[in-house]
Structure 1
Amino acid sequence: MSEYIVTCCSTADMPLEFFKARNVPFVCFHFIMDGMEYEDDLGQSMAFDEFYKRISDGAQPTTSQVNVGQFNDLFEGFLKEGKDILHISLSSGLSGTYGSACAARDVLLEKYPDRKILVVDSLAASSGYGLLVDAACDLRDSGLNIEQVYDYLQENKLYDHHWFFSTDLTSYYRGGRISAAANLFGTMLNICPLLNVNQEGRLIPREKIRGKKKVIEEIVKKMELNAKDGLDYSGKCFISNSSCYEDARKVADLVESRFPKLDGKVMINSIGTVIGSHTGPGTVALFFFGNKRTD
């Protein structure tokens, strides 16, 4: 039995079975939709199809980060069992939750001075965050101690690549990230923005590409250009999507055809309700390990 536990947030956007199989407890963000509050609990409280249909029908969900009390509740049970904790947090460039986890750590270490709570700012999101959690679990299971895994994550988290494209601009307009004119003309011209996450863990628009077929080709080209060892990349590759599985499948098929040494098949997950509150439906995100992320 491991002497420490790896924990994370629900916004790692991995299947519930993943967290169970890898023994990773997680804390849930929350979202409010149509006046009701729900947990971001991997589609259990609200199925992903229903969530994205409601957005398409006009709902505008809002989200709330994990607070200090929730982290206290998550951490303290393991501390009482005599376990140390390695918590991997959603990017501080997207949420203040990393600060909440650190605040809970500081309070609890006064109460449990013989224990360790190490908190990593993943600078990652969705299944790219999940890719980092998965790597931490591999290292834990190989016998590395908590400090060794923490050091690895700190040294390697910026090699975790995130590339996204969206075929539906509605949520970007509703959230104030693009103007009404940009939404109108972008939709008319079939513009699909291509974005990535930079070294500060922030989502950055990179290119405006016309047409779904072309943006699918372009996102895979980004992997060709940036993946570790290029077309000989032998790591894992994850994809997450918001109610556009067919588009995600096309990206996965293209990746699998061009990277024959992948570690297993591409895993396709759903973008969860918190990340999806900001992207809306129609987003595909591609994650892999590669060269170091820069601005």
Structure 2
Amino acid sequence: MSDFVLSCCSTADLTREWLERRDIAYVYFNYFLNGEPCKDDFGATNSPAELYAKMLAGADAKTSQVSAGDYADHFERFLAEGKDVLHVTLSSGISSTYNSACIARDQLAEKYPDRRVVVIDSLAASAGYGLLMDKLADLRDAGMGLDELAAWTEEHKLEVQHWFFSSDLTFFIRGGRISKAAGLVGGMLNICPVMDVAPDGSLAVKEKIRTKRKAIARVVDKMRELAQDGEGYAGKCFISQSECADDAREVARRIEEAFPNLDGKVEIFPIGATIGVHTGPGTVATFFWGKPRA
């Protein structure tokens, strides 16, 4: 049994059951729907289908990061039990939650001088963040201690590749990630932007692909290009999707066909509310271990 707690945020976009089975603690992100506070709680408050239906009907959806106070409450329950905490946050490139976690860590240091909270910025998002947490759980279970695991995370976190596309640009436009003019042209030309997460953890549009079919093929091509050992890749692959399960299954099918040495089947998870408020429906994101992002 480890003498420290491995922890993340619900924005790792796996499932409650997955995280609990891997013995990974978690803290919920928050969002507002028509001014009402909600928890990003793996779809318990609003299922993905319910959330997107409300958004498409005009509901005002806004995200809210985890506060320093919420982090302090989360960390303290483990410190009070005599355990240290290694907490990995959602990317600072899309949220300032890393700073909140660091504030909570510093606030608790005086009260628990014999205990430690180590906070790491994942520079990852959605199930790419989840893929990183899954690997950290493997290393912890193999006997890696807190300091060694923290150092490994900092050294290898940029090796988590994120590649995604969206067939519906509505909420990318509303959130300002794609201009209205570009979104209008993209819609008329049936363009699916292919995006990744940059080394600083921010979202970046890499290519503008015409038709969803070609965007699916391009994501698989990027995995061939960037995965560790190319088509001999023997690691795990996770996919997140926002109410476009058929598209996600098609990406998974092509990946399993192209990479026969995969560690198990491709795992498909729903995009959680925090990320989903910004993407809306129609986004498929693929995550795997590869060359460091540059």
Report TM bin, short chain.
over 0.9
TM-score, with structure 1 as normaliser: 0.98
Aligned amino acid, residue 287 of structure 1: F
Partner of 2:212: 212
Superposition pairs of residues 94-243 of structure 1, within 5 angstroms: 94-243=94-243
2: distance between equivalents of 1:176 and 1:166?
A: 15
| CA deviation after TM superposition for structure 1 residue 34, in Å | 2.0
2: distance between equivalents of 1:198 and 1:47?
A: 29
Q: Is 1:20 the counterpart of 2:20 in the alignment?
A: yes
Partner of 1:86: 86
| CA deviation after TM superposition for structure 1 residue 164, in Å | 1.0
Pick which of 239-248 and 33-42 moved more: 33-42
| CA deviation after TM superposition for structure 1 residue 60, in Å | 3.3
CA deviations on 1:160-187 (whole Å, 9 max, x unpaired) are 1001100001001212223333222211
2: distance between equivalents of 1:88 and 1:181?
A: 37
Aligned amino acid, residue 260 of structure 2: P
**Structure 2: where are the runs of 5+ without partners?**
none
State the 4+ residue runs in structure 1 displaced beyond 6 angstroms. none
| CA deviation after TM superposition for structure 1 residue 110, in Å | 1.3
CA deviations on 1:114-171 (whole Å, 9 max, x unpaired) are 1121111100000000001101100111111111111110100010100110000100
- The answer to whether the 8 A contact 1:163-1:219 is kept is yes
CA deviations on 1:47-94 (whole Å, 9 max, x unpaired) are 111111112222231011111000100000100111010001001111
2: distance between equivalents of 1:16 and 1:272?
A: 11
Cα root mean square deviation, aligned: 0.9
Q: Is 1:75 the counterpart of 2:75 in the alignment?
A: yes
- SS of the counterpart of 1:86? strand
Aligned residues: 294
Partner of 2:293: 293
Superposition pairs of residues 40-51 of structure 1, within 5 angstroms: 40-51=40-51
1: distance between equivalents of 2:11 and 2:242?
A: 13
- The answer to whether the 8 A contact 2:167-2:212 is kept is yes
2: distance between equivalents of 1:154 and 1:19?
A: 21
Aligned amino acid, residue 284 of structure 1: V
Aligned amino acid, residue 3 of structure 1: D
2: distance between equivalents of 1:168 and 1:142?
A: 42
**Structure 1: where are the runs of 5+ without partners?**
none
Superposition pairs of residues 2-21 of structure 1, within 5 angstroms: 2-21=2-21
